[in-house]
A = this chain, B = another copy of it.
Amino acid sequence: MKLDDFLSTVADSCKKQGPEQTIVLSSRVRIARNVKGYSFPGWAKKQERIRLFENVRPVIESLDEMKSSFSDSMDNLSSLEKQILVERHLISREHAARNSGSGLVLNKDESLCVMINEEDHLRMQLIQPGLQLDAAWKQLDEIDTRLEESLPYAFSRTLGYLTACPTNVGTAIRVSAMLHLPGLVLADQINQVVQAVSKLGMAVRGLYGEGTDALGNIFQVSNQMTLGESEKDIIDRLNKVLKQMIEHEENARASMVEKKPKIVLNQVGRAYGILSNAHSITSKETMNLLSMMRLGNDFGLFSKMRRSLVEELFISTQPAHLQKNVQDKLSAEQRDLIRADFLRGKLRSVSRPSDKFAEVSSADGDDSDPNI
């Protein structure tokens, strides 16, 4: 399968929805593994890295989950393709900078991605829509068990899985969820919540991981510690924190609608007005306005819009996704024009938001959600 085939699936992949989808965009479990007898990627010479890559790649490709997968070495990918993979959250920005000896294997629906020779020999991630960390871990754990039959992992009885960076040693697991928290941001309670969550040993980051802004009011919450706790305990603990954050966000939204409905209507209306009429718009402004449209949709203000449309626009208005459809290399300014054209086109069929809250729809996100 070609990378291009994956790249045209944003709309489809955004239609997949899971529990608590109103607030939880996605759940992700990532584990790091290294293969005995090979230096860590940061120490290995190029030839050794290539040897590891060629040894490991067919094993991963042979997994049932990797039927019709995309698999390649990083040096075969253009920088545009790499950037698109980053914008889709499939590879890290660091991995995008790597070349021969590094690569990836990606399954058909983009839920499973294995980076080879990133910081560790293997970085495997499983993403599911909504809040389903347990399910994601169950799947990834099975895959890991099957891989372990063919690959001798670097493992210590006392420390657990060995990793290039000591912060990952032990379970080498990172579980995270992507939360949309416009209510807490509008109510000016987000800093309080982030601080409380940090004290519970969780890291809160922006949309594109460490050191990035919470564009679009999207926050990534993940475990900090990988040592001294089982995977299940780590996931249980994160689940508890996430449930609390969801509750806080729901309360903030309900309180906004009750006490300051005009502020919500104003933000949602302006977001719609600008996104559907601008002729130049930056990625940052787009994300923040899309966040307000998503919130408005959660409140039932857009009668016929699917929530997945907003999710699709979050991704497809990113720089590399815009560049993909155009021959010439675009400057940032040109991208802002094309982004605005693209948004006006996509939103043409979306009617202006309602002037009133029909009913206070609380976050449900289960299968009865009309937005699915």
Contact = CB atoms under 8 A, between A and B. Distances in A.
A274 B280 CA distance: 15
A266 B340 contact: yes
Q: Is the interface of A mostly helix, strand, loop or mixed?
A: helix
Contacts of A355: 279, 344
Contact of A277 (B278, B279, B337, B352): B352
Contact of A279 (B266, B276, B280): B266
A29 B264 CA distance: 47
Interface residues of A, number: 21
A353 interface: yes
A319 B188 CA distance: 30
Contacts of A284: none
Interface string A254-282: 00000000110110011011111111100
A4 to B, nearest CB: 29
Contacts of A337: 262
A79 to B, nearest CB: 27
Contacts of A278: 266, 269-270, 273
Contacts of A274: 270, 273-274
Contact of A280 (B262, B273, B352): B262
A355 B278 CA distance: 10
Contacts of A275: 273
Contacts of A340: 266
Interface in A323-343: 337, 340
A278 B270 CA distance: 5
Contacts of A266: 278-280, 340
Interface in A218-276: 262-263, 265-266, 269-270, 272-276
A120 to B, nearest CB: 46
B262 A269 contact: no
Contacts of A263: 280
Interface string A331-370: 0000001001000100000001101000000000000000
Contacts of A269: 277-279
A361 B366 CA distance: 55
15 contacts: A262-B280, A263-B280, A266-B278, A266-B279, A269-B277, A269-B278, A269-B279, A270-B273, A270-B277, A270-B278, A273-B275, A273-B276, A273-B277, A277-B353, A344-B355
